[in-house]
Amino acid sequence: MKPGVAEASLSTQLDELPQQELSLGTDIDAAHRVLLDPCCPPAEKKAELLRWIERCQPCLFGRLAAKGTAAAGRGEGGGSAKGLTLDIAWLDESDLARGADHVRSTIQRERRVWKDRAEQGLTSAFLIVFNSPRLARARPSTRLIGVCRRLAELYLIEFGRIEPDVVYLEALPLRAANGELRLFKSSVQLFYPGAHLMRNHDRRIPGGLVFSMNAPGHYARSLVSRGLVPNFDQAVKFVSRNALRTIGNGGIGHPHKLGSSWHHAQPGGTRPEPPHCPPTAAARAATPERFSATYQIDVLIQADVLTDPEPRLDRHRREDVWPSLHLEYIRAQPVPPQDPDYGWFDGMPVDDCAKHFNPWVPVKAVNHPDFNY
């Protein structure tokens, strides 16, 4: 923003979003009959979103968390969800109408509650849901980038101005049995209905714009502390196995099953175009931690993706591909503080006063084999 130029109100920015009226797939269309109904109570809408995530979200951790959260809401144990639940900050049109200060304070209050529960190992995932027809029907545009940035700034207040094409991380506390407090890295990712059929099709979700946070190392440690697995090595293997199965699991709701990520076909190899079906066990085993995608999966706001209006109906463009993405940070072995993977699975020890602090520095994304964060 240039000096002396007033920033538009949040309501104005939302009103100026270019809209589109089209089917977003039968699954999202059905969910929208509940999520976009102004007469439907929030509890019903949350339940509908959890049902959709459990059935249609490519991420297996998202499915487990939705299942566990729904079971907990019914007073059930949710044991089949492997102890995974998520916290939700829910903001609707009435919240957005009250302006940026109200939205910020609501998010920060729910964020602190999430971190307080995470300290006890009770949660490792968080959704901030902006349930809004204007966001649900927004089409790709520079104005959509502007709204995403504005809402992200109301969440990640420690970073000031949010920039496109940058990886931002959240920090999640966990208290060990000996009383030590550690902060773990958490991804911060964007989901929205307009991703349907686009190059980031795997990021589609009904209802509006959603920021999704997930801390896999925190979750692995909590599995051990809660006695759900016998040791940390087994917890990491469980996380790794489900992360590997998630790659190539997109394409849900796409008429040709075209997803946005895929395993490499051979050691050291890449595929500019993904297969039109889930990966085989042989493909996963070839280079299991390395994969390709048509966007950088941990960039919060990727400008060329959010402004790209062209659907991908049968294949992706070679120039879209990020061929050197990896899951190598999922490991039980400790790493030194100077390693980019530090904080994911070993955590950073901190004093109690830093429980709500976020120490992880934003990183500008570069499509290069050596890029890490």
CA-nearest of 150, 180, 174 to 300 is 150
> Over the range 129-146, which residues count as b (16 or more CB within 10 Å of their CB) and which as e?
bbbbbbbbbbebbebbbb
Q: Residue 129 corresponds to which tokens in the numbers above?
A: 């849901």
Q: What is the distance between the alpha carbons of residues 193 and 138, in angstroms, rounded to a whole number?
A: 8
Q: What is the distance between the alpha carbons of residues 17 and 76, in angstroms, rounded to a whole number?
A: 41
Single-letter amino acid, residue 56: C
Tokens 């016998």 sit at which residue? Answer: 230
pLDDT average per 10 residues of sequence, the chain (373 residues)? 61 95 96 98 97 96 94 72 91 97 98 98 97 98 98 97 98 96 98 97 98 98 95 97 93 94 65 51 63 96 98 91 93 95 97 97 95 93
pLDDT, tens digit, for every residue of 288-329? 788 999 999 999 999 999 999 999 998 889 899 999 999 999
Q: What is the distance between the alpha carbons of residues 12 and 9, in angstroms, rounded to a whole number?
A: 5
Domain total in the chain = 1
Q: What is the distance between the alpha carbons of residues 132 and 95, in angstroms, rounded to a whole number?
A: 10
Rg (C-alpha) for the chain, rounded Å, is 20
pLDDT of residue 81: 67
- Is the separation of the CB atoms in 292 and 271 below 8 Å? yes
pLDDT of residue 276: 47
Bridge-based pairing of strands 125-131 and 261-263 is unpaired
Reduce the secondary structure of 117-186 to three states and give it as a string. Answer: HHHCCCCCEEEEEEECHHHHCECCCHHHHHHHHHHHHHHCHHHCCCCCCEECEEEEEEECCCCCEEEEEE
79-to-32, 70, 133 alpha-carbon distances in Å: 29, 12, 35
Domain boundaries, position 321:
1-373
Cα 68 to chain centroid, rounded = 17
Length of the chain, please? 373
Which positions ≥6 away from 166 have C-beta within 8 Å?
Answer: 299, 300, 301, 362, 363, 364, 365
CA-CA-CA-CA torsion sign (78, 118, 243, 159) = positive
Which positions ≥6 away from 173 have C-beta within 8 Å?
Answer: 115, 118, 119, 181, 182, 183, 184, 350, 355, 356
Please give the model's pTM, rounded to 2 decimal places: 0.93
pLDDT, tens digit, for every residue of 239-275? 999 999 999 999 999 999 999 999 886 444 445 455 5
CA-CA-CA-CA torsion sign (47, 66, 212, 20) = negative
